[in-house]
Amino acid sequence: MAKIAAADLERIRDAKAQEASFQDRIYCMICGGTGCHATGSIGVKEALEKEIVEKQLSEKVKIVETGCNGFCAMGPILVVQPEGIFYQKLSVEDIPELVESHLIGRKPVERLLYKDPVSKKRIEKQDDIPFFAHQKPIALRNKGLIDPEQIDDYIAKDGYFGAAKALFELTPQQIVEEVKTSGMRGRGGAGFPTGLKWQFCQASPGEIKYVLCNADEGDPGAFMDRSILEADPHAVMEGMIIAARAIDAHQGYIYARTEYPLAIRRLGIAIEQAKEYGLLGTDILGSGFDFDIEIYQGAGAFVCGEETALMRSIEGKRGMPRPRPPFPAHKGLWEKPSVLNNVETLANIGQIIRKGGKWYAGMGTETSKGTKVFALSGDVNNIGLVEVPMGTSLRKLIFDIGGGIPKKKKFKAVQLGGPSGGCVPEEHLDTPVDYEAIAKVGAIMGSGGVIIMDEDTCMVDMARFFMDFIQDESCGKCTPCREGTRRLLQILEKISEGRGEPGDIETMEALSEVIKESALCGLGQTGPNPVLSTLRYFRDEYEAHIYEKRCPAKRCVALLEFRIDPDICTSCGACFRACPAEAIAWKKKEPARIDKEKCIKCLTCFEKCKFGAIF
Amino acid sequence: MPKLIIDDISVAVPEGTKVIEAAEQVGIHIPRFCYHPALGSVGACRVCAVKFLQGPFKGVQMSCMIEAADGMVVSTTDPEAVDFRRHVIEWLMINHPHDCPVCDEGGHCLLQDMTVSGGHGMRRYQGKKRTYLDQDLGPLVQHEMNRCIQCYRCSRFYQEYAGYRDLGVMGIASRVYYGRFGPGTLKSPFSGNLIDICPTGVYTDRPSRYKGRRWDYERTPSVCIHCCLGCRITVNVRYREVVRIEARYSPTVNGHFICDRGRYGFFYASSDRRPRKARSGGAETRPKNARDEAAHRLEEITARHGSGSVAVVGGSRSTLETLAAERRICRQLGWQGPSLFTGTEESAAARRAAGHLTTDLAVSLEALKNADLILVAGADPINEAPMAALAIRQAARNGAHIEVIDPRPVTLPLEYVHRPAGTDKISEILRGLGKPSTEDASGDIQDLAARLDQSRRPVVVCGAGKIASERTVEQAARLARNLRRAGKKAGLFFVMTGANTFAACRMAGDPADLETLLLMIEDGKVRALVVVEADPMSEYPDLARLVDALAKLDLMVVLDCIDTETARAAHVFFPTQTFFETGGTLINNEARIQQARPAFAGGTPISQTGGGSHPPRVFRDDIPGTEALSAGQLLMDIVSALSGGISRSVEEFDGVAPEFSGFDPVEATGERGTWAKLPLRTAAGPDSPQMGGETPIKKGELLLVESVYGTEALSRSSPWLQELESEPALTLHPEDASRWGLQHGDRCELSTEAGALTVPVHTSRSTAPGTLVLPRHRRLRWQVFQHFRSGLDTVRIRKTGGEGA
């Protein structure tokens, strides 16, 4: 490959379009995201390749390994284009039938199609599936549609046209104006206006500046950035080129955690290909502008997602935050003015520049424009990655797109914004996805992790889990975060072990207030949020733990005491056979009994009993 | 100058001052753990919270992070801030042991003070405390991690301030651990500062462990005498024993820190090998008898051979008072000397340096930190004056360019450019740089010349003694002066050989050096020697010649506080008091006059007199071991016993040297001893023979150099520092090594007509080709080489060990 000029972008795009339209080809888009890799998509892909060779379909059928499709719960996923037929949960054994029936006979295999949990009907086309139908992909627009390891695929989808426009048609000021017009706010969680951030850095004096991409996604249950990098790495790089042009930077770093090997590998390939095309390096597209990107792998410390800690980490120092000001726009990486944006933010930039800020601002709410990517996980049917316009209600997100709660359980709460966020109960489910509206109900937009919890979730236990995460991921620099969060965890552990005392709630509240006030960085300042937000909506559960020594959700093992209701017990003996501690006495035709002394509260009998006799 | 109000007190402070510092200026000590004036702010501990009532910041904020600004109204006593600090201290105390009454640090623990003053008196936490395994950090520093409050001071000092990497932080969250990354002893020669800087007892002083508590000690401000810098120290004495040295803050000399040589070199003062009795002919005798004998024999000799047949030999570890006494005696009695230097070249170089040091050029260590370019010529700071290396590092951290021109493999804990040039080339390079127009500079140094041209505050750091020649000193001074003329705030910083070398330069008589004096002994002109606090037998590079010469003497009187070879060879020996007992005046390399008070009255430590038990079993009405007097006093006593001798008090300086007329050290140093008032003027004198030009080195030369541990006269007896000594080795360029078939790690024998010694071979590419470097180490009989810089034509090198040997 040789270096290309701006005009070549159109040539490549048009050639790709022709290739697709002239040749009557079938494209098998097999998902190659981490989720589908885990469920076996590599084997499926190999089986498919083998079958196609055997059936001599190589000319006609083309297999493309795409990035994450988004519907991770259904992996391995195959979408047959151009019709967009969606196959789910494929196994190697399904492949001969699929090839025979669909690729040769042009008849989709009914049993492998998506089945709507409500109507129980099979749905053929991806776009008709509710999970996809309610989405509006911009950052994720190329997911499942291109091969992330082929730069031409990205260019074919109008890729790098935004960068070309920024380089040839717009001045740095105009770029910043365009981004400001778009109303784009930082998708990493804080929601700081991106245009403003760029403007500060642009105005900051200095010959050397840096553009940084924060791909150190660390929230439990969040995988937006990973999926974007796996599915469309060029989009992020295009955003960085545009940012570099806006602030006049010539070096960029993508800080990604080592735990994302696939994302890092694809990014590496993308950077290589972009360099060969001259989209990175010196004199990009003949514009005279130089910019290069390097990947920096972090060791996976949560705190390195904090901007000042991230920069110290790139510098080779301990990833510890430092107080702001000075802000990175003035003194960032190596004390030079720097712009740090989240992966998702950058993935939108190319489109914003190509289509204009006004186009982007046309979506969303008054203060939150555009779309937002969410990672649905927890007790929800459609675990996966979705992108919805700002203003979509949480209810729509969880029930229409997410498909509701499995096993007919009741919804209890949704945790937004990861450990630093908060939980939102049923009564606030109509809150729109909007930075301010979500903050009002005590959570934060965050980076987009959405953890749905059903009625079996103990909120004290949930707070304990997140507190454990936070105290474990504290960098250890400032006292409130290092010692205070640990203290909170210890009190929560005490409560969930049945040793809670009157006054514990008040102590936690007082502690939380001081930690919020006194911690050095965002991690510590938002550290007490899991406690505060659960106390806000589920104080009664705490009280039940402390005063009644009872866990309403039956999660806190220490507080459980198992009994068998003799009226319900059918004397089937399942519990007796399953008990590892020989704590259950059982004779035929007599209700079983649990010996409290021997019971180790392992929950095995509770889960084995089909009749709900054990409580 | 922003003006602000702190606790109703109005204060104006310089731009950029943090609120915590501003408060200190009006006497309000805001609690702090992570903040340290030398290390700056990091905002980690959160205990310096104060409430901002008015101004650009509002509410509770960290006073170490916020710069004072106009209109600020700050309250340190606001209930909200007090409550905030109480919480932080409570958190820190969660895991801290509650053993203050028996803890080593108790009584001088910042955490203890803050806990009490912060109002955290009741413990609410009921759980277990976090515990750690400690590390063995070596003989100097004791590690006790359970006490740690994670303030990061140690790692910031060790890595950022001092530039060593072997100790730091590991782990995150509540698993944070401070220690060495691998097993072994701390590598930094500044490690003792960890003890001073730790706000609690994680790092404590190991040699003084269990010897007492802070309040048991007699604590006296003093000055370090282990190199030329004169760092300020605090001496801790208990039961007549010097047990511990701490750094004492000095805004101009050493700042907050000192080096480990200075901190742990004091062992000689309380050693059980310290001579406590006068000796005559090797046998102990009463002081009066010894004095009478010395006086009698001196009188006899002068009667027979004239007053010029007696000479005084001294050294640069004596106080100004002692040196003045030596000089006055020599002048008044017509004796030779005092000879205060070992070699002729050394004496010439040092005296030329002292002559060039004018008030406008002399820079303090503090000023060295502010330089923007430092040129180190013929000096090896880490080994010769360790704290200078620390100051140079601070300059480098502030962006200064550091360049070293030296034949030795100089290592500094910072980034620098090293030009390994032979001793004969250093002055040439300096001369090239010193020309008014940099265009004349040869291509090789164009780059450095250009940098010098662009610099605003350049400092030339130059050796002045055994390695750097008089010519190098001259060129360094000319370069500094030329830079000054070019409008720069240029400075000159000489690294001298001893604590009081500057004073020795002014007090030295004729002959000024032992080398010249030896000629006079050899031809029988000098018949008696009075050696005052000097040890020629382990300092003079040609031992065989020295021994022969000393054998010709009719009398050798030695006055010293340590047991030396020279002392053992004396006909009459007098024990003297150490600097800790006498106090006195020192003039450091910057010509700064500093005064120390006596730290204690002297005497044999109770630990020795009691035979291990206390109180001692034998009771007496005097203090044992107090025969010793100050060297100056002793000298005057001996002389006043001479008929027609002089009897003036030691402290009088009139008539000793012109600039000392009417000199009063107490007045000169002021209450805090902050600056020398000694008038400095150019008194370089005419060019001496060496100044004509450097003799080019033909076959190469062997340099006998100083190393941080093991060479300095007093500290080399410290058992703790002896543990840290690395085996003295011959260092040379690998290409030179191959000339003798040597490789790194081999052993080789170095021999001259006078003897031989065997040492390991180290090769280093930063050694100048043609130069062999060997430390004047206590473990080596290096006095076979005859000169500090000896030509290789007199030295034979033979491989004795290693591959193929």
**Which residues are CB-contacts of B769 (< 8 A; sequence separation ≥ 6)?**
B420, B422, B733, B735, B736
Question: Is some CB atom of chain A closer than 8 A to the CB atom of B69?
Answer: no
Comparing CA positions, the residue from A456, A466, A421 lying closest to residue A541 is A456
Residues A324 and A405 occupy one common structural domain: no
pLDDT digit string, tens, across residues B517-546: 999 999 999 999 999 999 999 999 999 999
Which has more confidence, B557 or A219? B557
| A chain contacts of residue B132, beta-carbon cutoff 8 Å | none
- Is residue A527 domain-shared with residue A513, that is, in the same domain? yes
A275 touches chain B (CB under 8 A): no
Which of A361, A391, A424 is the last residue in one of the domains? Answer: A361
Residue B310 falls inside a structural domain? yes
Residue B485 banded pLDDT, cuts 50, 70, 90: very high
Which pLDDT score is estimated for A598? 87
Choose from A468, A477, A497 for mutation: most chain B CBs within 10 A: A477
Name the more confident of A460 and A407: A460
Question: Does B46 touch chain A if contact means CB atoms closer than 8 Å?
Answer: yes
Round to whole Å and give the CA distance between A172 and A184.
17
Residue B617 tokens, joined: 């079993």
pLDDT tens digits, A31-58: 998 889 999 999 999 999 999 999 888 8
- pLDDT tier, B697 (very low <50, low <70, confident <90, very high otherwise): low
Report the pLDDT averaged over residues B547-576.
96
Contact A474 B171 (CB under 8 A): no
**Residue B446's domain is classified under what CATH number?**
3.40.228.10
Using the 8-state DSSP alphabet, how is residue A138 labeled? S
Rounded distance, CA A274 to CA A280, Å?
Answer: 6
Does A511 fall in a domain? yes
Confidence at B671, pLDDT banded by 50, 70, 90: very low
Tell me, yes or no, whether A484 and A590 share the same domain.
Answer: no
In a domain? residue A137: no
Whether residues B91 and A318 touch (CB distance < 8 A) is answered with no
Among A483, A501, A511, A525, the residue to mutate for chain B (most B Cβ within 10 A): A483
pLDDT at position B684 is 46
Give the CA-trace dihedral at B478, B479, B482, B488, to 10 degrees.
-140
Asked if B86 is an interface residue toward chain A (Cβ–Cβ < 8 A), one would say no
- pLDDT recorded at residue B118: 85
How does pLDDT run across A335-363, given as a tens digit for each residue?
999 999 999 999 999 999 999 999 999 99
| CATH for B546 | 3.40.50.740
Outline where DSSP puts E strands in B315-468. 336-339, 373-377, 401-405, 417-419, 458-463
Q: In this structure, are A540 and A571 located in the same domain?
A: no
From chain A, the residues in CB contact with B129 under 8 A are none
Across B249-261, average pLDDT: 94
- Say how far apart CA A119 and CA A134 lie, in whole Å: 17
Local structure of B197: helix, strand or coil: helix
Residue from the list A482, A519, A520 with its beta carbon closest to the beta carbon of B150: A482
Mean pLDDT, rounded, of chain A: 91
The verdict on A357 and A253 lying in the same domain is yes
**N- to C-terminal Cα separation, chain A:** 68
**Residue A273, in any domain of the structure:** yes
Look at B173 and A477 and tell me if their CB atoms are within 8 Å. no
Which residues of chain A does B60 touch, with a Cβ-Cβ cutoff of 8 Å?
A: 517-518
Across residues B173-196, what is the average pLDDT?
A: 95
Residue A518 to residue B65, Cβ atoms within 8 A: no
pLDDT in tens, B610-637: 766 666 667 778 888 888 999 999 999 9
Quick one: A220 and A334 in the same domain? yes
Residues of A in contact with B43 (CB under 8 A): 322-323, 478, 520
Listed ranges A105-119, A526-540, B118-132; the one with the highest mean pLDDT: A526-540
pLDDT tier at B698, thresholds 50, 70, 90: low
Q: Note whether B323 and B252 are same-domain residues.
A: no
Q: What angle do CA B645, B649, B653 make, to 5 degrees?
A: 105
B520 in the same domain as B488: no
Region B40-65: what's the mean pLDDT? 92
- In this complex, do A473 and B172 lie within 8 Å of one another by their Cβ atoms? yes
My answer on whether B293 and B208 are in the same domain is no
Same domain assignment for residues A35 and A99: yes
- In this structure, what CATH number is given to the domain that contains residue A476? 1.20.1440.230
pLDDT at A566 exceeding the cut of 90: no
Q: Nearest to residue B207, comparing CAs of B143, B142, B257?
A: B142
Same domain, B284 and B365: no
**CB-CB contact of B656 with B507 (8 Å):** yes
Residues of B in contact with A315 (CB under 8 A): none
Please indicate whether, in this complex, the C-beta atoms of B176 and A473 are within 8 angstroms of each other: no
What's the angle, vertex CA A188, arms to CA A186 and CA A194, rounded to 5?
A: 15
* A553 in any annotated domain: no
By mean pLDDT, which of A110-124, A358-372, B232-246, B292-306 is the weakest?
Answer: A110-124
Q: Is B544 buried (19+), middle (13-18) or exposed (0-12) by CB count in 10 A?
A: middle
The CA distance from B252 to B368, in Å, is 10
**Where does the pLDDT of residue A60 fall: very low under 50, low under 70, confident under 90, or very high at 90 and above?**
confident
Nearest to B198 by CA among B357, B33, B413: B33
Q: What is the CATH number of the domain that holds B148?
A: 2.20.25.90
Q: Report the residue of chain B nearest A478, measured CA to CA.
A: B44
Same domain? For B659 and B768 the reply is no
Cα dihedral value B558, B564, B569, B571, nearest 10: 30
Predicted confidence at residue B681, as pLDDT, reads 46
Q: Which of A118-122, B150-154, B219-223, B240-244 has the lowest mean pLDDT?
A: A118-122
Q: Is the pLDDT of residue B805 over 70?
A: no
**Token pair in block for residue A405:** 């709660």
Residues A260 and A349 in one domain: yes
What pLDDT sits at residue B66? 93
Claim to verify: residue A174 and residue A254 sit in the same structural domain: yes
3 state DSSP class of A372: strand
Q: State the smallest CA–CA distance between residue B32 and chain A in angstroms.
A: 12
C-alpha B790/C-alpha A290 separation (Å) is 58
Which are the contacts of A157, defined by CB distance < 8 A and separation ≥ 6? A141, A142, A145, A146
CATH number at residue A388: 3.10.20.600
Question: Would you say B163 and B393 are in contact if contact means Cβ atoms under 8 Å apart?
Answer: yes
A226 falls within a domain = yes
Taking an 8 Å cut-off on Cβ atoms, the answer to whether A483 and B171 are in contact is: no
**Domain end marker among B429, B464, B497:** B497
> What does pLDDT average to over chain B?
90
Q: How far is A516 from chain B (nearest CA, A)?
A: 11
Q: What confidence tier does B646 reach under pLDDT thresholds 50, 70, 90?
A: low
Contact B42 A479 (CB under 8 A): no
Q: Distance between CA B200 and CA B195 in Å, rounded? A: 9
A482–B contact, CB cutoff 8 A: yes
Q: Does one domain contain both A174 and A300?
A: yes
Of B62, B94, B175, the CB nearest to A483: B94
CB B142 within 8 A of CB B204: yes
Last residue of a domain, one of A404, A421, A454: A454
The whole-number average pLDDT for the span A501-505 is: 94
Q: What's the domain count of chain B?
A: 5
* Residue B677 predicted with pLDDT over 70: no
pLDDT exceeds cutoff 60 at B690: no
Rounded distance between C-alpha atoms, residue B569 and residue A488, angstroms:
73
Q: How far is CA B411 from the centre of its chain?
A: 17
Q: Determine whether the interchain pair B42/A477 forms a contact, defined as Cβ–Cβ distance below 8 Å.
A: yes
Same domain, A199 and A310: yes
How many C-beta neighbours within 10 Å does residue A327 have? 16
Identify whether residues B263 and B309 lie together within a single domain. no
Subunit contact A473:B169, Cβ cutoff 8 A: no
CB burial class (10 A; 0-12, 13-18, 19+) of residue B695? Answer: exposed
- The answer to whether A324 faces chain B, any CB pair under 8 Å, is no
Q: How far apart are alpha carbons A385 and B476 in whole angstroms?
A: 70
**Cβ of residue A519 closer than 8 Å to a chain B Cβ:** yes
Q: For a pLDDT cut of 70, what percent of chain B falls above it?
A: 91
pLDDT at A180 over 50: yes
Q: Is residue A366 part of a domain?
A: no
Residue B683 pLDDT level (bands cut at 50, 70, 90): very low
Domain end point (choices A518, A547, A576): A547
Look at residue A98 and tell me if it is in a domain.
Answer: yes
Q: What are the CA-CA distances from residue A247 to residues A177, A194, A204, A210, A436 (Å)?
A: 12, 12, 9, 8, 29
How far B214 CA sits from the closest chain A CA (Å)? 28
Cβ B225 vs Cβ B245: under 8 Å: no
Residue B113 included in any domain: no
Distance CA A280, CA A286 (A): 11
Q: Are strands B730-732 and B755-763 parallel, antiparallel or unpaired?
A: parallel
- Closest chain B residue to the Cα of A480, Cα to Cα: B88
Q: What CATH number is attached to the domain comprising A102?
A: 3.40.30.10
Which of B67, B85, B91, B114 is the mutation pick for testing A, counting most A CBs within 10 A? B91
Most confident of A524-528, B659-663, B666-670: A524-528
For residue A99, give Cα distances in angstroms to A108, A123, A433, A585: 10, 19, 42, 55
What are φ and ψ of residue B332, in 5° steps? -75, -35
Q: Report the residue of B19, B66, B174, B177 to disrupt the A interface, i.e. the one with the largest count of A CBs within 10 Å.
A: B174
Tell me: do B14 and B153 sit in the same domain. no
Gap between the Cα atoms of A509 and B768, Å rounded: 68
Q: Is any Cβ of chain A less than 8 angstroms from the Cβ of B181?
A: no
CATH number where B78 lies: 3.10.20.740
User: Is the domain of A440 the same as that of A485?
Assistant: no
B749-768 pLDDT, tens digit each: 999 999 999 999 999 999 99
* B683 close contact with A: CB closer than 8 A: no
Inter-chain CB proximity A484 and B91 less than 8 Å: yes
Ramachandran quadrant class, B644 (left: phi over 0; alpha: psi -120 to 50; beta: rest): left
Is residue B645 domain-resident?
yes
pLDDT band at A290 (very low <50, low <70, confident <90, very high): very high
Q: What is the pLDDT of residue B442?
A: 57
Q: A502 in helix, strand or coil?
A: coil
Is B348 a member of any domain? no
ipTM for the predicted complex: 0.86
B527 in the same domain as B485: no
Backbone angles phi, psi at B462, to 5 degrees: -135, 140
Tell whether the model's pLDDT for residue B695 goes beyond 90.
no
From B445, B476, B497, the end of a domain falls on B497
**Among chain B residues, CA nearest to A320:** B172
In Å, how far is B228's CA from the nearest CA of chain A?
36
Q: Which residues of A478-490 are buried (b: 16+ CB within 10 A; e: fewer)?
A: bbbbbbbbbbbbb
Q: Does one domain contain both B154 and B43?
A: no
The shortest C-alpha distance from A515 to chain B (Å) reads: 9
B449 in any annotated domain: yes
* Residue B272 identity (one-letter amino acid): D
B137 and B188: one domain?
A: yes
Number of domains in chain A: 5
Give the range of the structural domain holding residue A479, as residue numbers without chain letter: 459-547
Residue A538 distance to chain B (closest CA, Å): 26
Q: Which of residues 104-163 of B touch A (CB under 8 A)?
A: 125, 127, 149-150, 152
The Cβ-side half-sphere exposure at A613, using a 13 Å CA radius, reads: 22
SS3 A198: helix
Q: A477 contacts in B (CB within 8 Å)? A: 42, 44, 150, 152
User: Which pLDDT tens digit goes with each residue over B423-480?
Assistant: 888 998 998 887 655 455 556 688 899 999 999 999 999 999 888 989 999 999 999 9
Same domain for B390 and B467, yes or no, is: yes
pLDDT band (50, 70, 90) for residue B89: very high
**B167 sits in which H/E element:** strand B167-170
CA distance B216 to B236: 9
The distance from CA B490 to its chain's CA centroid, rounded to whole angstroms, is 24
Q: How far apart are CA B458 and CA B517, in angstroms?
A: 39
pLDDT tens column, A133-172: 889 999 999 988 899 999 999 999 999 999 999 999 999 9
Check whether residue B539 and residue B657 sit in a common domain: yes
Mutate: best of A335, A472, A479, A487, partner B, most B CBs <10 A: A479
Does residue B173 belong to any structural domain of this protein?
yes
Residue B645 has pLDDT above 70, yes or no: no
Tell me if residue A354 falls in helix, strand or coil: helix
Q: Among B497, B521, B545, where does a domain finish?
A: B497
pLDDT above 70: residue A376? yes
Is residue B194, in this structure, part of any structural domain at all? yes
Q: How far are the Cα atoms of A123, A440, B604, B605, B609 from residue B612, in angstroms, in the given order?
A: 94, 74, 13, 10, 8
**Within a domain: residue B233?**
yes
Answer yes or no: is pLDDT of A457 > 50.
yes
* Residue A476 contacts B, CB cutoff 8 Å: yes
A287: in domain: yes
Provide the pLDDT for residue B443.
Answer: 61
Contacts of A471 in chain B (CB under 8 A): 173-174
Instruction: Specify whether the CB–CB gap between A195 and A184 falls below 8 A.
Output: yes
User: Is there a contact between B88 and A518 if contact means CB atoms under 8 Å apart?
Assistant: yes
Integer Cα distance of A154 and A237 in angstroms: 11
* Model confidence band, residue B578 (pLDDT cutoffs 50, 70, 90): very high
Question: What confidence score (pLDDT) does residue A257 get?
Answer: 92
pLDDT score for A614: 80
Domain carrying residue B9: 3-92
pLDDT at res. A273: 95
- Residue of A144, A148, A150 lying closest to A232 (CA atoms): A148
- Examine the pLDDT at B650 and tell me if it is beyond 80: no
